[in-house]
């Protein structure tokens, strides 16, 4: 099991468009990825609905979880989270 942390860069947080783009990328990564915020259980990163219900705002730290060997996929998703997808 590997994890990566990322600080959410999008102005509106993981809402609407940024959340939709992230969930789509997670679904297309080919590996099961889960995402969590502090104090809550990890949820499936490919579900837009669940990603939105994390309620992660700009500046919040989120953690990505996947099986060993998915390092490259997680790194790509971290880079995405740390980009302002609202811009």
Partner 1 sequence: MTREVRGVAAAPGIAVGPVKWLAPAPVTSRDDAPGSDVDAEIARAEAAFETVAARYSAQALEAKGPAADILFMTSALAADPALLDQVRGEIRGGTPTAHAVTEAVAHFGAQLAALGGMMAERASDLKDVGQRVVAELLGVDPPGIPDSATPFVLAAQDLAPADTATLDPATVLGLLTVAGGPTSHTAILAKALGIPAVVAAPEAVSLAEDTEVVLDGTAGVVELEPSAARREEVLAQRARQADAPTGPGRTADGHAVPLLANVGSAADAALAVELGAEGVGLFRTEFLFLDRKSAPTVAEQTDQYAEIFRILGDRPVTVRTLDAGSDKPLPFLNLPAEENPALGVRGLRLSSVDEGALLDQLSAIAAAATRTGTPVKVMAPMVATAEEAGYFAAKAGAAGLQSRGVMIEIPAAALRSEQLGARVDFFSIGTNDLSQYLFGADRMSSALAALHNPWQPALAATIAMAVSGAGRHGVKVGVCGESASHPEFACVLVGLGVETLSMAPRSLAGVRAQLAEVTLEQCKAAAAAVLSAATADDALRAARSALGRDK
User: Mind telling me the catalytic residues?
Assistant: 15
Per-residue x/- marks for partner 1, 23-62, CB under 8 A? xx--x---------------xx-xxxxx-xx-x--x----
* Residue closer to partner 1 (CB basis): 46 or 73: 46
Closest CA to 55 of 40, 76, 74, 72: 40
The whole-angstrom separation of Cα 27 and Cα 5 is 18
* Residue closer to partner 1 (CB basis): 15 or 71: 15
Q: How many residues bind partner 1 (CB under 8 A)?
A: 23
Footprint of partner 1 on this chain (CB under 8 A)?
11-12, 15-17, 19-20, 23-24, 27, 43-44, 46-50, 52-53, 55, 58, 86-87
């Amino acid at each position: 099991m590997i994890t990566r942390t990322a600080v959410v860069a999008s102005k509106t947080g993981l809402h609407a468009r940024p959340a939709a783009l992230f969930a789509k990328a997670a679904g297309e990564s080919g590996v099961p990825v889960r995402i969590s915020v502090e104090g809550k259980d990890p949820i499936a990163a490919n579900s837009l609905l669940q990603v939105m219900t994390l309620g992660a705002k700009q500046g919040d730290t989120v953690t990505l979880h996947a099986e060993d060997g998915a390092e490259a996929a997680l790194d790509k998703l971290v880079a995405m989270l740390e980009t302002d997808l609202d811009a």
